[in-house]
């Protein structure tokens, strides 16, 4: 793998109101997902309800879990059937499996999915990075 790692971004529509509105459900999702996709949870999920502020219909549940490989976060808008999830990891993971878990948990197939590679110049192998840096320096002399 080149770079730091993959970042999966999922926007979900027409999700289950009951799931999107439940602190317990979102906590369960964040608690179980890391192991399901081969990640290592290093703290319990932190999940809270947002009251919507000036737009009461925008209330929802937000949460995140720190994993050894980076983090997973979610924001829900139950009144709109919408949620957004980010899974960022320094190691590869089965993106299709993660998407299937999300579809099943939130009871929707209506997803927008984006993936990107983060930190494309991250020196994953310090020995290789040193060799490349030294060869570039030699060309400058």
List beta partners, residue 65: 72
123 pLDDT band, cuts 50/70/90, is low
56 pLDDT band, cuts 50/70/90, is confident
Does position 63 have pLDDT exceeding 70, yes or no?
yes
- The reply to whether 16 belongs to the active site is no
φ/ψ (deg, to 5) at 55:
-120, 85
Rounded to 5 degrees, what angle do the CA atoms 98, 102, 104 make? 120
Domain ranges of the chain: 5-140
Mean pLDDT of the chain: 88
pLDDT at residue 90 in the model: 83
- The reply to whether 90 belongs to the active site is yes
pLDDT at residue 129 in the model: 54
Active-site residue, selected from the candidate residues 62, 90, 117, 135: 90
pLDDT at residue 130 in the model: 60
Q: Choose among 63, 55, 95, 101: nearest CA to 79.
A: 55
Please give the average per-residue pLDDT across 58-79, as a whole number.
96
φ/ψ (deg, to 5) at 46:
-110, 115
Active-site residue, selected from the candidate residues 7, 62, 73, 75: 75
117 pLDDT band, cuts 50/70/90, is confident
- The reply to whether 75 belongs to the active site is yes
72-113 confidence digits (pLDDT tens): 999 999 999 999 999 998 888 999 999 999 999 999 999 999
CATH level 3 topology of 5-140: 3.60.90
pLDDT at residue 118 in the model: 74
Choice among 7-16, 30-39, 87-96 with the minimum mean pLDDT? 87-96
Distance CA 97, CA 113 (A): 13
Contact 102, 111 (CB under 8 A): yes
Q: Choose among 80, 83, 100: nearest CA to 37.
A: 100
């Amino acid at each position: 793998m080149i770079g730091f790692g993959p970042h999966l971004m999922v926007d979900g529509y027409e999700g289950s109101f009951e799931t999107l509105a439940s602190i317990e459900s979102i906590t369960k999702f964040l608690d179980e997902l890391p192991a399901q996709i081969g990640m290592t949870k290093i703290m319990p999920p932190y999940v809270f309800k947002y009251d919507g502020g000036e737009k009461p219909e925008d209330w929802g549940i937000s949460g995140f879990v720190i994993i050894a490989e980076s983090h997973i976060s979610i924001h829900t808008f139950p009144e709109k059937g919408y949620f957004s999830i980010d899974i960022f990891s320094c190691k590869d993971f089965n993106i299709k499996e993660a998407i299937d878990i999300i579809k099943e948990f939130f009871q929707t197939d209506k997803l927008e999915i984006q993936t990107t590679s983060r930190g494309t110049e991250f020196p994953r192998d310090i020995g290789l990075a040193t060799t490349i840096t030294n060869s570039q320096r030699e060309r400058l002399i």
